[in-house]
Structure formats: C-alpha cells, structure tokens
C-alpha cells in the first residue's frame, strides 16, 4: 500500500500498477551482465528508453565532488530532453579525472548508437566503488545486446532494477495510473537503488522515473523538485551524501492527454502522484538501509513552517544515538529531544511532546519537554517492531513534515568495513 506524508495530496482515482518504469506507454527497459562486477554473476548494466522523444528533468547530488556521469547528464538535460538512460553498477566512475569524463561520454555514445539516436539524448549514471577507472570497453561491447534485450514487459523493469543494485537487498519500484481532472489517463513508473551512504541533499540513490504524460518541461522540473524536497531529501540512513546521486524523470506524452501547460488541477494531480511514488521509494530505501532492521518515520507537527518541521524531523532520523536506541528497542526519548535542539531551527522545548508508536501500540514518553510515567515494558514491545513511528509535537503552529530513516545496527559496520572486496 502506498502511503502519503502529511503534506502530500492524494490524486483522484489513483491505481497502483506493477510494471515499474515500463508501466507508462512507450517505455522499454533491460538489464544484462557485461562483466563490470568481475567477481559476480549479477547483472550490472541497464537501459531504460522511450520509443519517442521526451521532455525530462533531474535533480543531482549537492556534493561538490560529483561523478562524471552526473556532470554529463546535467549537460545533456540542459541541452534538451533526454529519452534514455544507461546505468552501470559496480563502478561509480567518480574521482577518475579526465578519463572518467571521456568514459561517461563514450557510455552515452554507445547507447545512442545502439538506439539510433543522438548522444545528447542519452543520460548516463554509474554506481559502485569510487576512484576506480570505468572499464568502458565492457559497456561498449555490451550495448548491442542491451538494446536487443529491451522489452515493455515487467521483466524489463525488473532486470534493469537488478542491474543497478549494489548493497541493496530488496527491489524497489512503484507505478501509478491516475485520471486527470481535465480528462485523460496517465501513468508514472519508477525504480530506485539506494541502501547506504544516504542523507538529505539527495541520497546515495539513482531514481529513474518514467511517464507517458504530456507536460511542459518547466512544469515537469517543478513537480520533480517539489517531490524530491518532500521525500528523497527527507531520508537519512548514515549521514553521508554520495558523489553519484540522481533522480531523473522522462515524459514522452504517449498518454495523449491534453498537455499540462499551467499549474491547474491536472498539474496538481500529476505532481501529487509523482510525490506519492517518490515517498514510497523513500520508505523502501529507508527500510533497506545497510544493516537496517527497522524503518523509522518521524512526524513533526506544530512547527513555525513546513520547512522548519522538515529540518527538525531530519535531525532526529539522522541522529546516530536515536538510531542506535531504536535498534536496541530503548525508549531513550532524551536523545530525540537532544536532536531537535541542535537541528538549527527555533522551537520551544517546554512545549514539546514525544511518543513512540508501531503496530504494537503507542506510548507517550515526554510532555512539555519533561518526563512522564510510562511502561518501559510496553515501550520496548512497541520498539521491537520492524516499523517505528516517532510522533513529535513542538507547538501549535501549522508547520508539519515527515522524514524517514532506519536503525543503526552492527551489520552497518560489517558491510562498509569490507565494501571494496
């Protein structure tokens, strides 16, 4: 079930689909093994392509150290709409100098040659180990086979998703069909990889979103940035922001709806559906955080603004002490209040209330910034569940927001202690 956050309006007549990036009309996908992951038999090269030209938009990492693929894709989108994305896993092609930039361009050229289009219409993405030269010959040799494997069936989306995964343990995808208020049915589909090195200002993630909606490029960009701000940028696994983060959307207009040209009801419905999909992907990434055993949702209400509430919520999800307490099922609410205090936005501690909730129930642990009597046994029962909600009220203003994260377990260190092996 797709859930929505407090700031997200559910679009009218929304239906969940199963085909990921292949759900919208005119999109095909594929994933194959080209040998980048030399010690593995896993797929490591993906292609998602539209049969017709697209308008597109993207949001990239805020890290000043950017992978070659991020720079090249930003350049191509600035020139006009991209209609395909080629992605490799096993190698980030980051911090690889001029050779890395040349490899990223060759990657786009190889996909363009296979599809019979211009390299400027191809986006590229890479994920994996930083500081290792990309074996571009393997990608160039595999491009014809990758093109041949393209399919509009669900298996194409599944194969592409498998090919972009690194430390992910679960496949993460979503798709929706919505009826626009002005008439017409459009679809949005998405896949994402992301498990570790995740923190606001784009997580370590590659999100690929497709749509058959006819929509003006500027409005597509606006809708994506709105969704990213309220979802992906409210996710934290470990406090690290990567070099390769990217959320890309392509829309080809194949649905045949009246083009969305202004911020009317059709735009609102489309933007809300996009945000709904991004929130589902955000929750899936948080639940699959490296070494994670629990999904954490932090809801903050009563803040001076939505932005202030988001900053407060993110501070709690990013707190290593809060995350460790959740792993140990310890109702240490003082760590939550402490995280709120260093978030950097004003609030009144003496007006703050905190509660922990899960399917096992709910328990209030703090009122007016101080302790209240509660059952430690009940609190532990609540915190032992796989999904935990931390409810926080900081006042009576209208600002509210949610953020997502996971607990911090022993396995996180194990995974990252030998990542390069």
SS3 content of the chain, % helix, strand, coil (to 5): 35, 25, 40
What does the alpha-carbon distance between residue 268 and residue 260 come to, in Å, rounded to a whole number? 10
Rg of the Cα atoms in the chain: 22
What does the alpha-carbon distance between residue 309 and residue 5 come to, in Å, rounded to a whole number? 13
- Give the β-pairing of 387-393 and 295-303: parallel
Query: What is the Cβ-side half-sphere exposure of residue 50, based on CA atoms within 13 angstroms?
Result: 28
Please name the residue that has the structure tokens 């796989």. Answer: 386
CB 237 within 8 A of CB 286: yes
Taken as a whole, the chain contains a residue count of 421
Query: Which ranges of 367-406 does DSSP label H, i.e. alpha helix?
Result: 376-383
Strand partners, 172: 192
What does the alpha-carbon distance between residue 178 and residue 224 come to, in Å, rounded to a whole number? 17
61 is catalytic: no
Please name the residue that has the structure tokens 């735009």. Answer: 267
Q: What is the DSSP string of 62-129?
A: --SS--HHHHHHHHHHHHS---EEEEEESB---S-HHHHHHHHHHHHHHHHHHHTS-GGGEEEEEES-
Catalytic residue among 61, 73, 166, 204: 204
Q: Where are the beta strands (DSSP E) in 152-307?
A: 172-179, 185-193, 206-211, 235-236, 246-251, 295-303
Catalytic residues: 204
């Amino acid at each position: 079930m797709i859930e929505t956050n407090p700031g997200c309006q559910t679009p009218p007549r929304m239906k969940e689909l199963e085909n990921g990036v292949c759900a919208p009309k005119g999109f095909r996908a594929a994933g194959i093994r080209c040998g980048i992951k030399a010690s593995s038999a896993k797929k490591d090269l993906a292609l998602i392509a539209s049969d017709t030209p697209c308008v597109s938009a993207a949001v990239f990492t805020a890290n000043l150290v950017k992978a070659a693929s991020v720079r090249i894709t930003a350049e191509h989108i600035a020139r006009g709409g991209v209609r395909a994305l080629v992605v490799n896993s096993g190698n980030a092609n980051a911090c690889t100098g001029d050779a890395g930039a040349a490899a990223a361009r060759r990657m786009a050229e190889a996909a363009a040659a296979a599809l019979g289009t211009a390299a400027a219409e191809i986006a590229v993405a890479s994920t994996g180990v930083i500081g290792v030269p990309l074996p571009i010959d393997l990608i160039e040799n595999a491009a014809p086979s990758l093109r041949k494997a393209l399919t509009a069936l669900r298996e194409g989306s599944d194969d592409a998703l498998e090919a972009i995964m690194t430390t992910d343990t679960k496949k993460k995808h979503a798709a929706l069909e919505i009826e626009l208020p002005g008439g017409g049915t459009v679809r949005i589909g998405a896949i994402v990889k992301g498990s570790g090195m995740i923190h606001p200002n784009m997580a370590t993630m590659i999100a690929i979103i497709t749509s058959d909606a006819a929509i003006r490029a500027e409005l597509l960009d606006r809708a994506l940035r709105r969704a990213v701000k309220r979802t992906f940028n409210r996710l934290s696994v470990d406090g690290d922001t990567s070099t390769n983060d990217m959320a890309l959307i392509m829309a080809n207009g194949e649905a045949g709806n009246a083009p969305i040209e202004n911020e009317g009801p059709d735009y609102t419905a489309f933007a809300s559906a996009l945000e709904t999909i991004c929130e589902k992907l955000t929750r899936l990434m948080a639940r699959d955080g490296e070494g994670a055993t629990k999904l954490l949702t932090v809801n903050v209400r009563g803040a001076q603004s939505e932005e202030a509430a988001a900053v407060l919520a993110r501070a709690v999800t990013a707190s290593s002490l809060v995350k460790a307490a959740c792993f140990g099922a310890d109702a240490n609410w003082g760590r939550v209040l402490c995280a709120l205090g260093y978030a950097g936005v004003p609030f009144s501690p003496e007006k703050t209330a905190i509660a922990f909730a899960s399917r096992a129930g709910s328990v209030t642990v703090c009122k007016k910034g101080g302790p209240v009597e509660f059952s430690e046994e009940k609190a532990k029962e609540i915190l032992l569940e796989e999904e935990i909600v931390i409810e926080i009220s900081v006042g009576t203003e209208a600002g509210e927001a949610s953020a997502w994260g996971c607990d911090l377990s022993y396995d996180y260190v194990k995974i990252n202690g030998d990542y390069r092996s």
